[in-house]
């Protein structure tokens, strides 16, 4: 660990020495008539045509041309803006006006579906709604098909639970946010990805490694933030209908109203149903659980002068049934092994913000959210019930003293109350607990002409379960050249392990649950380095990103399925647990309307385990692919009449949990496999239709359920899942919208 930190420091010191050789830059921002940032606008010199594009905040930076003083900004649907920069080179603001009448729109540049901010100090990817539409994207779990960084896999072959994997670590180490407040924690962590309909999302922001201290202390491997459609900017009305050959049906609708100049409101509705039993491999178990979900959200936005507020309320109800089918090849099953869930979840939130001084970018904001989650479930003869109450509050203050110096500070409070119980072998065991964590943070940003940015933050929190702890984090961004950006980060993260709530899918097996007493709070350091290259090539720009992230656990609750093939043990780490993740990614628009992205990631994740005799041994993380390759291409014809998307995922092999040596029922390793997804979309003026296929070549893990013929026997296990548990799916859909523009 010490050598890694020394190496990082040396790299950063070497990078700082390059600053003397960098050229002078023009910096600024492109906005519309409502002072909103325009993302992806073209900014270039009038004579040489050399330029760049704006980032998520509408900001840009560009090498100064000695012979050219006129800067041009353009974007589809807006009149181009030209500004003379001979008298200024910093904080230029270019405002574009919308074109009054467009008889015909000719698309000269296709807007990027995934945008990486060039100016943000934290390495962040924004997945836009256009990118989400490249796949079926029924919910958040299916939103990362074209993203090389995030993996979504099934936790077991019976319940349909899906988890994110980031940097080689499970989704419990990824902080999930909705509109920048923590969400889907604890009881909602297993199925929360299914609780966010794809059509509700405006965008998704993915950041890897340690994050800002503003949003808390929990991001150990990264952070994913979901932005929902907002009434001021959402379509007046939109509909999305979806159906697949697996007999999944889904309907989505949303609408927004501008009640007056200050107040707007929106309604989002979702209904989906999987209502047919499928057992293609003939093992007697459903390939996918039967599900029915109703999801509603109502929200309001209010703006008056310097005061802005948002309010929202949401309700979800879901029934989910997995396990054995009612019939087998031998006839009707009298008493089938079934897993059933009945879930109800309610949320509410509000955001209040007031701009104290627009010129000094000084503001204060209050975020409040609350949720109640009820999951009543039966794993065959073993009931498991959990009730979770969560309250979250955050008070934030921000001020930009100068362009070079700015400060953020705030107070936060998080409360979790769990009423949880499980019945195993006829014995009911409660796991009730409450945790309240008040905290405070301060974060300082140093910005040297947008060339060198240092963001340093520290927060202190007090847990009623684990006492006081401190979370330091630092991010550095350095641009030695306009075409070369460097980011480095280091910081700590903490997390309270909710063992049963986050791992109850393990109950879909005959394994015994052995939970140690006095489990500690998890604690880890994360260090990262990112290199971004923007290389002009044949009149276009080749983007290459290389990155390395290292997560080292000081404390961890180990989930051990290796030391005993008939039990799962939870205990405190005694030794080392770490994950190294290396990734390289390249994107290039070969010709108009066509974009190709290729990426390769290698993961080295290992943990020290203990056997029954107390001996320690180190193993790779089970059920985790050693590598992943991705090639995704997209072509949109002129005038946006057709769009063709193809994604290839190359998943490496990995290690299986240790089987019973006397009676081994699975192999030691699983092999590499490839998944191909494809979609074709036809666009009309206000509507579009699409047809596609998931898992086009029908790859399916054989026998994902161990000893499926004896589900109440000692060897039954539905959690040995490393690949798809379903075969090829063909789907079709219809989209219609009345745009506010």
Say how far apart CA 392 and CA 395 lie, in whole Å. 10
Say how far apart CA 131 and CA 645 lie, in whole Å. 10
**Per the structure block, which two tokens stand in for 219?**
């991001």
Neighbours of 618 (CB within 10 A): 12
Q: What residues does 543 pair with on adjacent strands? A: 534, 587
By residue count, the chain amounts to 741
- Quick one: pLDDT at residue 53? 81
- Quick one: pLDDT at residue 352? 96
Q: Which of 210, 199, 187, 338 is nearest to 270 (CA)?
A: 199
- Quick one: pLDDT at residue 101? 42
Say how far apart CA 672 and CA 652 lie, in whole Å. 4
Q: Which of 362, 420, 410 is nearest to 388 (CA)?
A: 420
* Residue 397 burial class via C-beta count within 10 angstroms: exposed 0-12, middle 13-18, buried 19 and up: middle
What are the DSSP calls for 88-110, one per residue? --SSEEEEPEEPS--S----SSP
Q: What is the mean pLDDT of each run of 10 residues along the chain (741 residues)?
A: 45 40 69 77 79 81 78 76 72 72 46 77 90 88 92 90 92 95 94 95 94 94 96 96 95 97 97 91 91 98 96 98 78 84 98 90 96 97 97 97 94 98 92 97 94 96 98 96 95 96 95 95 98 93 96 98 96 97 96 95 97 90 96 94 97 96 95 97 96 96 93 95 93 95 70
Residue that is written with structure tokens 């014809």 in the block: 637
Identify whether the C-beta of residue 169 lies closer than 8 Å to the C-beta of residue 716.
Answer: no
Say how far apart CA 673 and CA 669 lie, in whole Å. 13
- Quick one: pLDDT at residue 102? 40
Q: Which of 28, 21, 66 is nearest to 47 (CA)?
A: 66
* Residue partners of 701: CB distance under 8 A and separation at least 6: 670, 721, 722, 723, 724, 725
Say how far apart CA 590 and CA 570 lie, in whole Å. 51
- Quick one: pLDDT at residue 34? 67
- Quick one: pLDDT at residue 89? 60
Say how far apart CA 735 and CA 686 lie, in whole Å. 8
Domains and CATH numbers, the chain: 25-98 (2.60.40.1120), 114-738 (2.40.170.20)
Q: What residues does 152 pair with on adjacent strands? A: 164
Identify whether the C-beta of residue 562 lies closer than 8 Å to the C-beta of residue 609.
Answer: yes
- Quick one: pLDDT at residue 331? 60
Phi-psi region of 698 (alpha: psi -120 to 50; beta: other; left: phi over 0): left
Phi, psi of 186 (to 5 degrees): 60, -115
- Quick one: pLDDT at residue 24? 66
Q: Tell how far CA 275 is from the center of its chain.
A: 28
- Quick one: pLDDT at residue 330? 53
């Amino acid at each position: 660990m010490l050598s890694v930190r020394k190496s990082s420091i040396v790299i950063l010191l070497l990078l700082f020495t390059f600053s003397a050789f960098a050229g002078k830059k023009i910096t600024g921002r492109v906005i519309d008539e409502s002072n909103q940032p325009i993302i992806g606008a073209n900014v270039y010199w009038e004579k040489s045509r050399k330029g760049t594009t704006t980032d998520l905040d509408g900001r840009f930076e560009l090498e100064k041309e000695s012979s050219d003083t006129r800067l041009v900004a353009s974007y589809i649907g807006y009149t181009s803006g030209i500004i003379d920069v001979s008298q200024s080179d910093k904080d230029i603001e270019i405002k574009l006006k919308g074109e009054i009448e467009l008889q015909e729109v000719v698309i000269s540049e296709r807007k990027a579906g995934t945008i990486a901010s060039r100016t943000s100090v934290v390495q962040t990817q924004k997945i836009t709604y256009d990118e989400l539409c490249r796949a079926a994207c029924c919910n958040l779990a299916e939103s990362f098909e074209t993203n090389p960084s995030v993996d979504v896999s099934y936790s077991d072959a019976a319940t349909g639970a899906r988890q994110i994997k980031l940097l080689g670590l499970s989704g419990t180490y990824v902080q999930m946010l909705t509109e920048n407040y923590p969400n889907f924690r604890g009881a909602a962590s297993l199925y929360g990805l299914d609780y966010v309909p794809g059509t509700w999302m405006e965008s998704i922001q993915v950041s890897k490694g340690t994050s800002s201290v503003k949003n808390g202390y929990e991001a150990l491997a990264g952070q994913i933030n979901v932005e929902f459609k907002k009434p001021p900017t959402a379509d007046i009305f939109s509909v999305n209908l979806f159906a697949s050959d697996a007999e999944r049906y889904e309907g989505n609708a949303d609408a927004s109203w501008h009640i007056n100049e200050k107040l707007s409101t929106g309604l989002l509705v979702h209904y989906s149903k999987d209502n047919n039993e499928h057992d293609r491999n003939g093992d007697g178990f459903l390939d996918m659980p039967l599900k029915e979900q109703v999801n509603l959200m109502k929200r309001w936005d209010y703006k008056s002068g310097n005061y802005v507020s948002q309010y929202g309320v949401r309700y979800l109800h879901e029934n989910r049934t997995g396990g054995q089918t009612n019939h087998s090849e031998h006839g009707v099953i009298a008493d089938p092994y079934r897993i059933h869930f009945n879930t109800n979840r309610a949320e509410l939130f509000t955001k209040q913000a007031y701009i104290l001084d627009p010129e000094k970018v000084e503001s204060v904001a209050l975020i409040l959210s609350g949720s109640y989650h009820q999951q009543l479930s039966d794993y065959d003869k073993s009931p498991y019930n959990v009730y979770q109450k969560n309250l979250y509050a955050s008070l934030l203050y921000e001020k930009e003293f100068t362009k070079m110096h700015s400060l953020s500070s705030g107070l936060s409070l998080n409360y979790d109350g769990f009423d949880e119980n499980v019945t195993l072998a006829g014995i009911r065991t409660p796991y009730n607990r409450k945790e309240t964590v008040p905290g405070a943070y301060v974060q300082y940003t140093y910005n040297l002409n947008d060339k060198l940015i240092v963001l340093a933050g520290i927060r202190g929190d007090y847990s009623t379960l684990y006492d006081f702890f401190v979370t330091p984090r630092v991010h550095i961004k350095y641009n030695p050249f306009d075409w070369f950006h460097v980011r480095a980060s280091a910081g700590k993260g903490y997390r309270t392990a909710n063992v049963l709530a986050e791992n109850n899918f393990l109950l879909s097996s005959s394994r015994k649950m052995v939970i140690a007493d006095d489990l500690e709070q998890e604690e880890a350091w994360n260090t990262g380095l990112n290199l971004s290259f923007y290389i002009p090539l044949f009149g276009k720009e080749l983007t290459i990103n290389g990155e390395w992230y290292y997560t080292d656990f000081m404390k961890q609750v180990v989930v051990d399925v290796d030391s005993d093939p008939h039990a799962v043990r939870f205990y405190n780490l005694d030794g080392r647990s770490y994950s190294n993740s290396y990734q390289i990614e390249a994107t290039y628009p070969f010709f108009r309307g066509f974009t190709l992205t290729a990426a390769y990631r290698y993961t080295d994740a290992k943990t020290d385990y203990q056997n029954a005799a107390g001996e320690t041994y180190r193993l790779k993380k089970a059920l985790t692919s050693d590598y992943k390759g991705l090639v995704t291409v997209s072509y949109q014809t002129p005038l946006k009449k057709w769009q063709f998307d193809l994604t290839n995922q190359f998943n490496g092999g990995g290690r299986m949990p240790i089987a019973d040596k006397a009676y081994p029922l699975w192999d030691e390793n699983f092999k590499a496999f490839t998944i191909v997804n494809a979609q074709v979309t036809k666009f009309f003026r206000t509507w579009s239709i699409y047809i596609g296929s998931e898992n086009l070549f029908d790859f399916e893990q054989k026998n994902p359920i161990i000893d499926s013929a004896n589900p109440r026997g000692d060897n039954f296990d539905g959690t040995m899942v490393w690949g798809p548990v379903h075969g090829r799916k063909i789907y079709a859909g219809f989209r219609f919208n009345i745009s506010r523009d």
